Amino acid sequence: MHAFTLFHAGSNYNDREMSLKIGIMLRHFDQHNGGVRVYTDELLRSMLAAESEHEYVFLYQNPGLVGSFASNPRITEVAMPTRSRLRWDQVEVPRAVNRYGIDVLFNPKFSMALAASCPTSWVSHGMDWYVAPKWSRLRDRVSHRFLVPHYARKADTIITVSETTRQHVMKYLHVPPERVRTVYSGVAGLFSDPIPESRQEELRIRLNLPQRFVLYVGAVYPPKNFTRLVRAYAKTGPQREVGLVIAGGENRFLSEHELDEPERLGLQHWLRRPGWLGQSDLAVLYSMADALLMPSLYEACPLPLIEAMAAGCPVLTSNCHGSAEIGGDASLQVDPYDIDSIIAELGRLLDDAELRAGLVAAGRKRAATFSWERCAAETLDVLQTIAENRAQNGGRTAVSAGGAAK
């Protein structure tokens, strides 16, 4: 069993006198759907809602995003259009830091402006490209080998979304523990809100959903283990008249050949592909599903897993990395490399209503420990701390490591 404790700052950042101008690198803001986009949206919303006098400079690559936060007087939105991501990171962002008097620079995704003159922090959403480089594209491997280590050395603090990721950052990027802080992701309140039957029936009709189904949520790329998931479902779902719903399901990279696996196995009758759904529809979908299937080879802090638990959807996931850490004893865990393990546990889950009910109760309890408000408060604490350290000492000072898995 994996337990964890969420970090509580020694002093609340709201009680400090220092107000900051926080620069936030948002080059990735409109790149693709998925967990990092949800993380960024929710974190920004909660940071802005926090009681503080901080001002923000939102830095975009896409000029079309300027005006997204026009109603908030504490935000200055800046577009720096350039086709080169490297130029944006390493030339335009440092210029903006100086031009707008930014006190601390934060990137909700990895990468950092190496020439930034202020304290910096970035978020690691996982280290799968180091755990198994074969899962990454060649151009990404080059970046991971030659650029990311520089980003790690530059950062005053690296924020990691799980203790699994924290350990990997220290191992693969050789960052000392005092410069790596675990801040768990959150879950939006709408996922735990009661769902009326009328709303479920409306979605069932609109998406042509079967009476019983299991659910996959997210893009498809190698660590997601999509092929084994589908093959295990093919041995368990149809014989029980349980469908498979794939929400998202687009190729993110290196998995074009996996997308048609359900059709190759003749599962068309049982398959629904509604594509990407808004969070409101997704919350309803979770509440209707017999289970979320997430037997990934690698996860850091999987948001669908937390969302499903909050919505009362039983979770089948992996017994390794962030899946095991986040799911804990509120999830049914399998060996993701062993398709027979997935088949056996999925069959047991679909046949045992008492098992499903127990997972629902445990999942709701566990999901209640995650919140975006807490994530925002702890992230702001990191940014305040590194700014204070720089102001007081002219350099880095250790920060608390945050929540550690035990």
Domains in the chain: ranges and CATH: 13-186+372-393 (3.40.50.2000), 190-367 (3.40.50.2000)
Whether 324 has a pLDDT exceeding 70, the answer reads yes
pLDDT tens digits, one per residue of 75-123: 999 999 999 999 999 999 999 999 999 999 999 998 999 999 999 999 9
For position 2, what pLDDT does the model report?
Answer: 37
Would you say 355 and 349 are in contact if contact means Cβ atoms under 8 Å apart?
Answer: yes
Q: Answer whether residue 134 shows pLDDT above 60.
A: yes
Local confidence band at 5 (pLDDT 50, 70, 90 cut-offs): very low
Comparing 133-142, 259-268, 351-360, the range with the smallest average pLDDT is: 133-142
Kindly report the average pLDDT of the chain as a whole number. 92
Q: What is the mean pLDDT of residues 137-157?
A: 91
pLDDT in tens, 264-310: 999 999 999 999 999 999 999 999 999 999 999 999 999 999 999 99
What's the confidence (pLDDT) of residue 135? 87
Instruction: State pTM to two decimals.
Output: 0.91
> How many residues does the structure list for the chain?
406
6, pLDDT greater than 70 = no
Residue-wise pLDDT tens digits, 177-217: 999 999 999 999 999 999 999 999 999 999 999 999 999 99
pLDDT of residue 386: 97
